[in-house]
Amino acid sequence: MFQAVGELIRHLPQTTIVKFAGKARGGGAEFVAAADMAFAAVETAGLGQIEALMGIVPGGGGTQYLRDRVGRNRALEVILTADLFDAETAASYGRINRAVPADELDEYVDGVARHIAALPDGVVEAAKRALPADGFKEGLLRENDAWATTISLPAAQRLIGEGLRDRAQTPAGERDLEGLMRGIAP
């Protein structure tokens, strides 16, 4: 289902823009990658694919979107280290368009959106047709198979269960989700 949402976003005729100042991990990071453009606050934003620490692989398009944006070698680094990448590193890798100071983020992204909105009718659609979103059908099927295989493994069930027990999905747990999950014995 989450893959379908990402694909709907990627294939909209309108330009989709994500602006964030917080942390986007797992499905949130996949949502960011599905958008046409993403801008993040230098001081506070972070992107991470935490799934490997839970014994699974990304299942919402993350493997395909990452490879498309950053290349296979960096996609493997992002997925297999499960690190939280700061906005400047995410921008240098191509995961986001630009890291902007937090106090300038709203104005900058509003300016981008205004410039796009001011274009003559048909230009956005023509540009998106000329630069189509790659078709990931085969890759998404492989991703789904990999996710379905790993989610049913005893290690994944234990890691996810212990992460929930240790309050991974609370505000306090999410502040250092990578550290919390790494603290659970493999």
Map out the domains of the chain as residue ranges: 2-103+121-178
Q: Which of 51, 88, 107, 138 is catalytic?
A: 51
Q: Which of 7, 30, 138, 162 is catalytic?
A: 30
Q: Is-catalytic flag, 30?
A: yes
DSSP designation for 181: H
- 97-155 pLDDT, tens per residue? 999 999 999 999 999 999 999 999 999 999 998 988 878 888 899 999 999 999 999 99
- 19-68 pLDDT, tens per residue? 999 999 999 999 999 999 999 999 999 999 999 999 999 999 989 999 99
Name the architecture of domain 2-103+121-178. Alpha-Beta Complex (3.90)
Q: Is-catalytic flag, 51?
A: yes
Give every CB contact of residue 123 below 8 A, 6+ residues apart in sequence: none
| CA gap 157, 146 in Å, rounded | 15
Helix axes 27-34, 62-70, angle to 10 degrees: 50
